[in-house]
Amino acid sequence: MKKNCWEFKNCGRQLGGQNVGLLGVCPASIDKTNHGKNSGINGGRYCWQIAGTFCGEKVQGEYAKKISTCMVCDFFKLVREEEGIHMTV
């Protein structure tokens, strides 16, 4: 089964996660508009396109400001490898 970002990163920001009280719910975990992209739940395998995700110990902004960080992320690389030419960027 393909992992979503919160499972891969173990951030605990998904609904019911251990860090929701401290850091809030991650927008990728509740973004239903991107459900199914790259075989993910909600925005879980499309997080680089979603503002407000929590990477590198800080909240990330909009796509244009964070994509360079995302491109070197282990999770982004995993999705790219798993989805191949069918990856939605």
Q: What is the model's pTM?
A: 0.90
Question: How many domains does the chain fold into?
Answer: 1
66: containing domain: 5-84
Model confidence band, residue 54 (pLDDT cutoffs 50, 70, 90): confident
Please, are residues 28 and 48 in contact by the beta-carbon 8 Å criterion? no
Q: Which percentage of the chain shows pLDDT scores above 70?
A: 98
- Domain assignment present for 89: no
Res. 66: pLDDT tops 90: no
- Domain assignment present for 31: yes
How many other β-carbons are positioned within 10 Å of the β-carbon of residue 82? 14
Res. 64: pLDDT tops 90: no
**DSSP characters for 14-70?**
STT-TTHHHH---HHHH-GGGTTGGG-STTTT-GGGSTT-EETTEE---HHHHHHHH
